[in-house]
Amino acid sequence: MPSKQRLVLDEFLPYRLSIVTNRASAAIALHYSKRFGLSIPEWRVMAVLGETPGLSARQVAERTEMDKVQVSRAVQSLLAAKRLTRGADKDDGRVARLSLSERGLAIYREVVPLALDLEREFLSVLNAKERAALDATLTKLSLSLNRLRKA
């Protein structure tokens, strides 16, 4: 008779990764939410568009792995605050292309150094070899998960 399997959340990798991700996002959010009134989804949208302007909301959702509703709400809020601009796609007028406005770019340029400093502090508990191993491990896990999602 097979033994009973028991899920122990504190040992379950997806749970642990979720907790670490949420804690990292919350730590960064402490700095930009007070100063700029940004939510975590809004900052994620801004971060993606700061790196790759001209994406559609669907592409932002794919890139961030966020729910389409979350992205839509964040985009609407950022447009209302004049932190984003929206323009029609030159080839398909049904598709809206999003970019950071001048106001959005100014915020992005202030938040990026904060985020990078916090990342450096967060990773400071690891030596160079451990950081390289973590990076390689995360890359392997990401590729494995991509295959599982397609199966």
Determine, yes or no, domain membership for 41.
Answer: yes
Residue 31: per-residue pLDDT:
83
Residue 58: per-residue pLDDT:
95
Q: Taking 70 as the threshold, does the pLDDT of residue 2 lie above it?
A: no
Instruction: Kindly report the number of other CB atoms within 10 A of residue 32's CB atom.
Output: 21
Q: What are phi and psi of 19, to 5 degrees?
A: -65, -45
User: For residue 107, what is the domain's CATH number?
Assistant: 1.10.10.10
Domain with 91 in it:
9-115
Could you give the CA distance from residue 20 to residue 27 in angstroms, rounded to a whole number?
11
Domain count for the chain, please give it. 1
Determine, yes or no, domain membership for 87.
Answer: yes
**Mean pLDDT score, 7-16:** 93
Give 78-117 pLDDT, tens digit per residue: 999 999 999 988 888 788 999 999 999 999 999 999 899 9
Residue 139: per-residue pLDDT:
95
Rounded alpha-carbon distances, angstroms, from residue 36 to 9, 83, 123, 143, 148 = 35, 11, 25, 35, 38
Q: DSSP letter for 3, please.
A: P
Determine, yes or no, domain membership for 80.
Answer: yes
**Mean pLDDT score, 24-39:** 89
